Amino acid sequence: MLTASAYGLAIVLNLLFVLIGARFLLVPRASAAGYGVPAKPDGDAAYLTIKGLRDGGYGLLGLALLAFAGPGAAGWFMLVTALLPLGDTLIVLRNGGPKATAFGVHFATAVVMLVNAALLFAL
């Protein structure tokens, strides 16, 4: 049960990152608004592309670690990359974004990632 839960949660989290990355590449302005810091109408193309590539790349890396390196490597990956949504929380708050998005999306994601890291380390 623990193994299925740890792997299942890790797969879901990584697939969500891939989907978020793809969304930022395909519909960048809507994605930025959902992130909590809307893009400027006359700019921010680099920010939107970087965000999409970053999230998509981390999701693919996480899936590769699960498939080829095992739960220990995947646990370290989740532990370290939990810093990303924590940073996103601060970015949203510093830029006047909604606190509900900062804590309800980004901070909550970091907490789930830390829980998943603990589950993977327990295997």
Which residues make Cβ contacts (< 8 Å) with residue 90, sequence separation at least 6? none
DSSP 61-90: HHHHHHHHT-HHHHHHHHHHHTHHHHHHHH
**pTM listed for this prediction:** 0.92
3-class secondary-structure state, position 98: coil
CA distance 98 to 38: 11
The pLDDT of residue 46 is 85
The pLDDT of residue 47 is 81
The pLDDT of residue 70 is 94
- Above 90 in pLDDT, residue 12? yes
The pLDDT of residue 43 is 75
Question: What average pLDDT does the chain have?
Answer: 95
Model pLDDT for residues 24-72, shown as the tens digit of each residue = 999 999 999 999 999 888 877 888 999 999 999 999 999 999 999 999 9
The pLDDT of residue 86 is 97
The pLDDT of residue 42 is 81
What is the percent of the chain with per-residue pLDDT over 70, rounded to a whole number? 100
The pLDDT of residue 57 is 97
10 Å Cβ neighbour count for 77? 23
